[in-house]
Structures are given as C-alpha cells and as structure tokens.
Amino acid sequence: MPMTDSDFASRCNIHRSYLLRVAVLQLRDNDLAEDVVQDTLLAALQGASGFSGRSSLKTWLTGILKHKIVDAIRRKERDPVRASLEEESQIEDFDALFDESGHWENPPADWGDPEQALSQQQFLDIMQFCLEKLPPNTGRVFMMREVMELDSDEICKELSITSTNLWVILYRARIALRQCLEQHWFAPTGRTA
Amino acid sequence: MARTVGIRISCKDASRLISQMQDGNIPLRQWLRIRLHLLLCDACNAFSRQMRFLRRAMESYRH
C-alpha cells in the first residue's frame, strides 16, 4: 500500500510524547530531550525507507532514539560533566552499609511478592521518585543498562570508562534504589513523619 | 573449618558480585562462592531477589 511522506510523518508523530518521556527520563534535561526527539523524528523521516515494517514503528523509533540519546550523553561527557562521571565511579561510599566483618548493617528485608506492586500507579510513582534521586550520571548509566539494554562493553566504549568503574556505578544505583524502595514502599516502618 | 575459609565471602563482596552478575558473566570461581554464600545467608538471598525484581521493574520503562 503506498504511503505518502506526510502519512508517515503523522504516524511517527503519534509516538512523540512517548519518545519525549523516555528521553527526559534518561537525559534529565528537558531542552536536550526535546532536541534529541526532534533529531530522532527527522532521522526517521529521512530514513523512512529503512523501516521494513518487521518491527513496530514504536520499536523502530525507539531504536533510533537510543542512538541519539547515546550521542547526546557522549557529547555531554566531553564537557566538564565527564569528570563527574569519573568521580561518581570512584566514590566508595559502601562501607557504611556493612560492618567491619562485611555483614549488612541493615540486612535487606524480605519484600514478599513484589510483583503485584508493578500494577500499582502509586508504586510506579515511588519508583520514579527513587530514580530521580540517583546522582545524575549514575542514573543515566543505569538507564543505559536497564532501559536501553546496552551491554556492559557497549556502555564502557560509549563513555570511555572501565568495566570496573561501570560495575561500581551500577552497583551504587541498585543499592540506592533498593534502599529507597524499601524505605518508601516495602517496609516504611523507619519512615519519619 | 580452615578448608572453607578460601571460598567464603562477606555480604559486602557477595552483594557486589550479585549486582555484577546482572551485567555479564563472572568467573566460575566467584560464581561458586556466591552459590555457597546464598545457601547460608538470608539477607543476601533477599538482596538477590530484590535485584531481579529491580530489573523486571525497569522493563516497564522500555515500552
């Protein structure tokens, strides 16, 4: 079935707000996210012939967006932010979590059957809150790994960091998220009013 | 007892490796240490389940 350029453009535009949401979450910069989504849609229109229809349009657009986000993060890393990524990977602030013999100071609690939380909007809001509390670069790297599904080697290459640095960053992100979720959702006993 | 010392790891090391296992393979020796540690440690078992849950929770951001 023949499709005009403007048909294709409007079909792409339907996904604009979704793409923007993903970009904002990963870049934490509204203006930059707007630019990246704009670039993505432009690239999609220019490369419309590359869309085979084998995957959904949304999946295809998300694939383009991933590359644009990685480019944007890499450009950001060239300016002084880069130093802070290295700093964030070098802070070893995990000692406080464990006693001298390496045991948990506050052992992780049993969350029971956490799956059901995923269908609750309130939980997703808390998840969002916890993600936004991560140090910015730690959050970006975590999103590259978990949402954009880049593997370790790709992330290390894109950001020019060592795998040891990467593991520390991801470990920090996960530790912080589990603490935040436990405090605000799974076992809010320690919460102060 | 003395024979087991070499393969015992602390919760601090175990938790780090459990996280690392989500990002690629870890050496067999380390993997065996983790399995042994998890047999004995409720806290790290909870941590390990939480890590898997985190990954599933993040999947909802992919779509």
A91-117 pLDDT, tens digit per residue, is: 667 778 999 999 999 999 999 999 999
pLDDT value of residue A149: 87
Write out pLDDT tens, residues A145-162.
998 889 999 999 888 889
The number of domains in chain A is 2
Q: Are residues A98 and A173 in the same domain?
A: yes
Q: Out of A111, A146, A152, whose CB is closest to B50?
A: A111
Query: Structure tokens of B51?
Result: 């890590």
Amino acid at A37: V
Share of chain A above pLDDT 90, in %: 43
Q: Are residues A85 and A128 in the same domain?
A: yes
pLDDT at residue A1 tops 60: no
CA distance A2 to chain B (A): 28
Q: Which of A30, A57, A79 is the last residue of a domain?
A: A79
Total CB pairs under 8 A between chain A and B = 84
Q: Are residues A151 and A127 in the same domain?
A: yes
- Give the structural domain span for B38: 2-59
Q: Which of A34, A61, A79 is the last residue of a domain?
A: A79
Mean pLDDT for all residues in chain A? 85
Q: Which of A28, A46, A79 is the last residue of a domain?
A: A79
What's the distance, CA A163 to chain centroid?
A: 18
Contact (Cβ atoms closer than 8 angstroms) between residue A22 and residue A147 = yes
CA distances from B12 to A71, A128, A145, B17, B55 (A): 35, 27, 23, 9, 21
pLDDT at residue A192 tops 80: no
CATH number of the domain encompassing residue A143: 1.10.10.10
Query: Among B54, B48, B62, B14, which residue's Cα sits nearest to residue A177?
Result: B54
Q: Are residues A17 and A62 in the same domain?
A: yes
Amino acid at A2: P
Amino acid at A145: R
Give the Cα separation of A93 and A95 in Å (integer): 6
The string of DSSP letters for A163-180 reads HHHHHHHHHHHHHHHHHH
pLDDT at residue A189 tops 70: no
- Give the structural domain span for A33: 1-79
Q: Out of B13, B51, B58, whose CB is closest to A102?
A: B13
CA distances from B22 to A13, A86, A186 (A): 35, 22, 22
Q: For A98, list phi and psi in degrees, rounded to 5.
A: -130, 150
pLDDT at residue A193 tops 50: no
- Best mutation target among B5, B18, B19 (most A Cβ atoms within 10 Å) is B19
Question: Virtual CA dihedral for A64, A153, B53, A27, nearest 10 degrees?
Answer: -40
The number of domains in chain B is 1
Host H or E run for residue A23: helix A16-27
Give the Cα separation of B9 and B13 in Å (integer): 6
Q: Are residues A30 and A122 in the same domain?
A: no
pLDDT value of residue A191: 41
CA distance B37 to chain A (A): 12
Q: Round to the nearest angstrom and report the end-to-end CA distance of chain A.
A: 61
Q: Is the pTM of this model over 0.80?
A: no
Give the Cα separation of A70 and A22 in Å (integer): 13
pLDDT at residue A178 tops 60: yes
The residue-averaged pLDDT of B27-41 equals 94
CA distance B2 to chain A (A): 17
Q: How confident is the model at residue A79 (pLDDT cuts 50, 70, 90)?
A: low
Q: Are residues A4 and A21 in the same domain?
A: yes
Query: Structure tokens of B46?
Result: 């909870």
Q: For A104, list phi and psi in degrees, rounded to 5.
A: -60, 135
Q: Which residue has the higher pLDDT, B43 or A51?
A: B43
Q: How many residues does chain B have?
A: 63
CATH number of the domain encompassing residue A64: 1.10.1740.10
The string of DSSP letters for A5-19 reads HHHHHHHHHTTHHHH
For residue B24, list chain A residues with Cβ-Cβ distance below 8 A: 151-152, 163
